[in-house]
Amino acid sequence: MKKVFKFFAAALLIVSVGVVCSCSGDKMKTNENGLTYRFIEKHDDAQQVKIGDVLVGVCTIRLEDSVLNMVTTPDRLYPPVGESMFPGDLNEGLLMMHLGDKAIFGIEADSLACRGMMFPNYYKPGTGMKIYYEIAVTDIITKDEFAEEQSNYVENMKQLQAEEKALIEQYVKEKKIKGTPDDDGLYIIVNKKGKGDKVEIGRNVAINYTGRLLDGKVFDTSVETVAKENNVFDARRNYGPLEYKVGELSLIRGWEAGVINQPAGTKLTLIMPSALGYGPREVGSIPANSPLVFDIEIVSVK
């Protein structure tokens, strides 16, 4: 069984990584569909790429000799290899590869431009310019293995959600919190009801907040005294209410759901599962799959 990959963090193959080399010269070959290619390393006896496989590796994408994108993480999960969308496309080249192969593929830029790919301003349509992909295949996840990884991911998430629910229920019981969660598992506890204008899409709000883990550890706050008391003070930061226009600033779902329609002057406690927070991502001092608690004061609504 191959190692587990975070497949939902997949990136498009055209935004990838690698080492720059020149693709000009007579070493490049062209097949009957117009795909230009050259193999730097070839392993014909190794596992061959098939439709539905997911490739792990490194790649550089260039327009002629200019690098468009480089990323330096080789364990990058790409979308599954599919049927060719047009003669001489990248899928056609990938299906020529084997595990351990390194190759360069050249594709007519016009063929990609007419299918929606964006190019820099030095791209000149109708001039025969090519996009080159230099690819090294370091692992192949078969269609069946990928499906199993997806199934395992779903099952793991269900188990984590059940564990989180139990942890939150225990926290609520220990804190003697009265209230019931909504359908998404979010607790909205109104500690003080304000009398001002309500938080609505398009309005400018100012909000003081303190974010904690269930064990009480503060991971972020807008209140300077709270930051100092909990050893998270940052002298480079300007403390004070977070000001933003509702609907324009992208916030975690639990926060957005908790403050909407609440009037200015309201003080809330929000308790949310990780699905409404940062999910499976580790963010700063927040571990992956962490339920969160926010103490929020809606200072003003304009």
Domain check: are 195 and 134 in the same one?
A: no
Domain check: are 58 and 103 in the same one?
A: yes
In a domain, 168, yes or no: no
In a domain, 222, yes or no: yes
pLDDT digits (tens, 9 = 90+) for 170-210: 999 999 998 899 999 999 999 999 999 999 999 999 999 99
- Round to whole Å and give the CA distance between 74 and 205: 42
- Round to whole Å and give the CA distance between 276 and 272: 6
In a domain, 70, yes or no: yes
* pTM for the full predicted model: 0.59
Tokens of 53: 């496989």
CATH number for the domain that contains residue 278:
3.10.50.40
Model pLDDT, residue 1: 42
Model pLDDT, residue 19: 34
Could you tell me the residue range of the domain that residue 239 belongs to?
Answer: 175-301
Domain check: are 62 and 184 in the same one?
A: no
In a domain, 216, yes or no: yes
Burial class (CB in 10 A: 0-12, 13-18, 19+), 236: exposed
Judging by DSSP bridges, how do beta strands 292-301 and 54-63 pair with one another?
Answer: unpaired
Question: Residue 136 forms beta bridges with which residues?
Answer: 58, 102
Give helix then strand counts, H and E, for the chain: 5, 13
Q: How many CB atoms lie within 10 A of CB 132?
A: 26
> Sign of the CA dihedral 230, 232, 237, 243?
negative
Q: Over 70: is that where the pLDDT of 233 sits?
A: yes
Residue 104 near residue 52, CB atoms below 8 Å: no
Q: How many domains does the chain have?
A: 2
Domain check: are 207 and 286 in the same one?
A: yes
In a domain, 149, yes or no: no
Model pLDDT, residue 69: 60
Domain check: are 133 and 196 in the same one?
A: no
Domain check: are 134 and 226 in the same one?
A: no
